[in-house]
Amino acid sequence: MTFNTHGLVCAHHHLYSSLARGMPTGESAVDFLSILKTVWWRLDVALDLDIIYWSAALGAAEAVLSGTTAIIDHHESPNAIEGSLDAIAAGCALVGVRTNLCYGVTDRWNDRSTLLTDGEQPRSMTDGARRGLLECDRYLSTGATGMVGVHASFTCSDETIEAAADLAIRHDTGVHVHVAEGQADSRAASRLKDFASDKWLLAHCVNLDQELSGTIVHNARSNMNNGVGYAHPASRSNLVVLGTDGIGGDMQEESRIAYARLRESDVTQTPETVWRWLQNAEKIFPQVANDTVTWNYDHMDSPWHTAFTTSNNAVDVTINNKTVVANSMLVTCDLVEIRSKAAEAAQRLFERL
Ligand SMILES: [Zn+2]
């Protein structure tokens, strides 16, 4: 029995989606690809550095208040590429949470700012992808913790995928990429298999049709929300970790949802499977062993208790011996100010949509 755990890790986040909540709806989406087009690709082109900063601060604050001390983020802002990773890092530094950042390159917008037609594979690297790779290169060259981001193979040319893989090797890191999340990306494994390594972070892998090297990030709730089907992570030989795909940063909640979805698929499974996925994150973000979360619940070392306890909240959080949360309140910064600035930024963002 213990009240304490190490810091938790969100292994696949999109901090810019913190401000997407309540965004005006466009035409209604009918499948995964149209969700990307009507929500996320509408939103990301409207981001600027100030909006990115406040959305990161808000997402980081909400994460650490849930006991998550490290965020692995995947970011895209096609009209604010240069400096975007510094803006996210600064927003997270205000709160004091650990980060691993990347810019997710894509060729989905050609050099005339026209969106790729469905089923079309980009033939060569676009200017946007080139600038995204430069942003990753610049950020990683400062010594910051990060990866090289790729949106997904279906929106990238072979040239871009190969350049991203090479850049990751040069920085001794991996590529963070969406893999086979929906049917539109069902050829992901064959496009990526010549480049992937154990350092790669593979988000989703719902329709993965062959082995691919890397750690799989399972995002149970996001997959259900997008109606893409179950990823069956327990059947994979890869290391599996958990992410939220931008729906908050509460990893206890995410792991309970992942458990319910696992049991729906196979009632013989136990909470130990999802517990392992949650703990595996320390293998890819070992610094969280230096962080302590004290919870309002005393069975935090028990998979069978935590899987069924929906009210275990973080009370105190220290990151590298520095107090960030005390008595369930942020002490490093002013949450009221972050919420208010984020609300102003969201208003500006929504007016552009
Ligand atoms: Zn994602």
Distance between Cα 169 and ligand 1 center (Å): 22
pLDDT in tens, 241-290: 999 999 999 999 999 999 999 999 999 999 999 999 999 999 999 999 99
* Residue 337 pLDDT level (bands cut at 50, 70, 90): very high
Distance between Cα 206 and ligand 1 center (Å): 12
Distance between Cα 331 and ligand 1 center (Å): 30
Distance between Cα 151 and ligand 1 center (Å): 8
Distance between Cα 298 and ligand 1 center (Å): 33
B/e letters for 233-244, b = 16+ CB within 10 Å, e = fewer, are beebebbbbbbb
pLDDT in tens, 73-108: 999 999 999 999 999 999 999 999 999 999 999 999
Distance between Cα 321 and ligand 1 center (Å): 31
Distance between Cα 203 and ligand 1 center (Å): 7
Distance between Cα 165 and ligand 1 center (Å): 19
* SS3 call for 318: strand
pLDDT in tens, 189-227: 999 999 999 999 999 999 999 999 999 999 999 999 999
Q: Is residue 163 within 8 Å of residue 190, measured between CB atoms?
A: no
Cα gap 274→109, rounded to integer Å: 38
* Residue 112 pLDDT level (bands cut at 50, 70, 90): confident
Distance between Cα 202 and ligand 1 center (Å): 10
Residue 300: its pLDDT value, please?
97
Distance between Cα 13 and ligand 1 center (Å): 7
Distance between Cα 62 and ligand 1 center (Å): 18
Distance between Cα 229 and ligand 1 center (Å): 15
* Architecture of the 4-352 domain: Alpha-Beta Barrel (3.20)
Residue 30: its pLDDT value, please?
87
Distance between Cα 262 and ligand 1 center (Å): 20
Q: Is residue 247 within 8 Å of residue 278, measured between CB atoms?
A: no
Cα gap 127→79, rounded to integer Å: 12
Residue holding tokens 């909640």? 253
Question: What single-letter amino acid sits at 54?
Answer: W
Distance between Cα 182 and ligand 1 center (Å): 12
Residue 134: its pLDDT value, please?
98
Distance between Cα 152 and ligand 1 center (Å): 10
Q: Is residue 175 within 8 Å of residue 198, measured between CB atoms?
A: no
Distance between Cα 75 and ligand 1 center (Å): 9
Residue holding tokens 């509460």? 250
Question: What single-letter amino acid sits at 247?
Answer: I
Distance between Cα 245 and ligand 1 center (Å): 4
Residue 247: its pLDDT value, please?
98
Residue 52: its pLDDT value, please?
98
The pTM of this model reads: 0.98
Distance between Cα 332 and ligand 1 center (Å): 28
Half-sphere exposure of 129 (CA within 13 A, CB side): 27
CB pairs under 8 A, 24+ apart, for 129-134? Answer: 129/105, 129/156, 129/157, 129/160, 129/163, 131/81, 131/82, 132/76, 132/81, 132/103, 132/104, 132/105, 132/106, 133/103, 133/105, 133/160, 133/163, 133/164, 133/167, 134/82
Distance between Cα 296 and ligand 1 center (Å): 31
DSSP character at residue 204 = E
Distance between Cα 336 and ligand 1 center (Å): 28
Residue 120: its pLDDT value, please?
86
Residue 117: its pLDDT value, please?
86
- Token reading at 95: 């709160």
Cα gap 142→289, rounded to integer Å: 24
Residue 327: its pLDDT value, please?
98
Distance between Cα 3 and ligand 1 center (Å): 31
Residue 17 has pLDDT above 90, yes or no: yes
Distance between Cα 297 and ligand 1 center (Å): 31
- Token reading at 293: 């979360």
Residue 27: its pLDDT value, please?
79
